[in-house]
Amino acid sequence: MEQHHRGQWGSNLGFLLAAVGSAVGLGNIWGFPYKMGVSGGFAFLIIYLILAVLVGFPIMLCELAIGRRAGRSVLVSYQQVDKGMGTFLGFLAMLSPFLILSFYTVLGAYCIEYMSLNLADMAFGVAAMAGMSGGDTFGAMLTNQFGSIAFTFVFIFVCFLIIRGGIKDGIEKFNKIGMPALFIMLVIVIVRAVTLPGAGEGLAFMFAPNFEPFTNFKSFLSVLSLAGGQMFFSLSLAMGITVTYGSYLSKKESLVKNSLIIIISDTLVAIMAGMAVLPAAFALGGADSAKAGPKLLFITLQDVFNAMGPAGPMFGVIFYLLVLLAAITSAIALLEVLVTFLSDRVALKGRTPNRKKLVTIVCLVVFAEAALVAADGLGSNGLWIPFNSTGRPLGSTWLDFMDFISEGVAMPLGALLMSFWIGWLVGPKLVRDEVELENHRMSSGLYGFFNFCIKVIVPLAMAFILYGMVHDFVTIPPQ
Ligand code: PFF
């Protein structure tokens, strides 16, 4: 069936920038450095890299192939492989972006607020932070419910303006400018960070071999699930987006090459973000501040900018702007999963989808759930939270709760089922047939590797990751 309403990427470069834009987000700039900080630096890096090759690559290839094969939304793409399992996996894959958006947009709003804070300090020298530590600033922001909700609205509105333009004239166009800008700003921040006195320790923490976390099974499992969850989130896997973006890809393009480029770029940016954040935290706050966990981005780093002297606010502006750009390019991808779903549903009923209307509906619904997370202010405002009567079971904040259901359960479960489904029930040949279109040969060595990973390594790794996620979530107190 002709799909005029859908459109397509303008070029393969446009697709790649958008796919890398979706992958490079808060996960890279916030999640990767702080998770590396709390789990032994180098050990985390090594496990992450191994998982990216053995688990990330096969899943990404499957998702791109399934999406491009059908040229439809994630639900229909999965259903075209097999109706029963496809329907379940399709809905599971849409649940994650929907829940992730509830907090991703709030974190994006925090980036706008922090950028404004540093901008005000740069402009008026109010030392916005006159005497205020990073922790005070963060606390003041979280308890200001109106501000958080208003900036969440602003963040979603910016995303709305971008995606209502469509795949080529909205998403692709924004990423073509946003991604190179992000890269340049990241390089500037790295140069500043690694030239701070004492930054060497941070670099050593990241790159000097250290296998201590591997000496006992429990800590190994912890690092494995943390790195595995991070890898999935960071590469935007099992969340419908790679299938959705793949569905707009031309049959001429190489899926293997594109998968590798996305994985390598995303990993490179995560490591670069580590080099921007960890050495600065080590230099200005010592080893302990690098282990600050989720607070690293908004508390520790603000303290770093405060301590940098007159140029501090300027680096603050550049840094939070770059995180904001990363958040926008990812949030528009998450929103597009839902928009494409609705739009293809309308088209399948024989009507022409009204993209602007659908984008408006999706943005409004997302704003409603995000307002709740914003009002909660990471648990600062005493809002009721589900299942929290005993302190932890499903989260101590609305953000934790949404994150646990999406990143902790839906995503690893979806990837586990998908690998089993494609590997053992449908058969990996389906992926090979799509990869080999238009004379793109998949060598027998590569196919053998893919076949083994999707049948054995991915299900095993995902089972461990799922177990580790649930176990850690239920037993480790929130940070
Ligand atoms: N990969 C993004 C990050 O690292 O922040 C998060 C994300 C974006 C996940 C888009 C899923 C997605 F569809």
The pLDDT tens digits of the residues spanning 148-174 come to: 999 999 999 999 999 999 898 999 999
Question: For residue 102, how far is its CA from the centre of ligand 1 (angstroms)?
Answer: 13
Give the mean pLDDT of 317-326. 94
Whether 107 maps to a domain, the answer reads yes
Nearest to 60 by CA among 262, 331, 269: 262
Helix, strand, coil abundance in the chain, percent, nearest 5: 80, 0, 20
267 has pLDDT over 60: yes
Q: How many angstroms separate the alpha carbon of residue 177 from the centre of ligand 1?
A: 19
What is the spatial distance between Cα 107 and Cα 113, in angstroms, rounded to a whole number?
10
465 falls within a domain: yes
**73-128 pLDDT, tens per residue?**
999 999 999 999 999 999 999 999 999 999 999 999 999 999 999 998 888 876 65
Q: What DSSP designation does 170 have?
A: I
4 is a domain residue = no
Q: Quick check: is 2 in a domain?
A: no
Q: Given a cut of 80, is residue 292 above it in pLDDT? A: no
For 379: left if phi > 0, alpha if psi spans -120 to 50, otherwise beta; the answer is left
- 19 and 255 Cβ atoms separated by less than 8 Å: no
Q: What is the pLDDT, as a whole number, of residue 444? A: 93
Flag whether 205 is in a domain.
yes
Number of domains in the chain: 1
Please state the rounded mean pLDDT for residues 311-323.
93
Q: Two tokens at 369? A: 């759930």
* End-to-end Cα spacing for the chain: 51
* Residue 105 Cβ < 6 Å to ligand 1: no
Cβ(23) – ligand 1 distance below 6 Å: yes
221 domain-assigned: yes
Q: How confident is the model at residue 334 (pLDDT cuts 50, 70, 90)?
A: very high
Query: Quick one: pLDDT at residue 101?
Result: 97
Q: Determine what percent of the chain is predicted with pLDDT higher than 90.
A: 62
Specify the CATH number for the domain of residue 384: 1.20.1740
The mean predicted confidence, pLDDT, of the chain is: 89
**Residues 77, 70: contact at Cβ < 8 Å?**
yes
Ligand 1 center to 27 CA (angstroms): 7
Residue 276 tokens read as: 């921007």
H/E element, 52 = none
In a domain? residue 200: yes
DSSP state of 294: G
More confidently predicted of 147 and 213: 147
**SS3 assignment, position 314:** helix
Q: What is the pTM of this model?
A: 0.91
Contact 365, 162 (CB under 8 A): no
Residue with token string 């916030």:
30
Tell whether ligand 1 has an atom less than 6 A from the beta carbon of residue 26.
yes
Two tokens, residue 12: 């393969």
In a domain, 7, yes or no: no
Using CA atoms, how far apart are residues 360 and 388, in angstroms rounded to an integer?
A: 33
Q: How far is CA 29 from the centre of its chain?
A: 9
Residue 392 has pLDDT above 50, yes or no: no
Report CA(324)–ligand 1 centroid distance (Å): 13
Top-ranked range on mean pLDDT: pick from 85-94, 297-306, 404-413: 85-94
* Residue nearest (by alpha carbon) to ligand 1 atom 12: 236
Residue corresponding to tokens 């649930």: 470
User: Domain containing 238: what range?
Assistant: 12-475
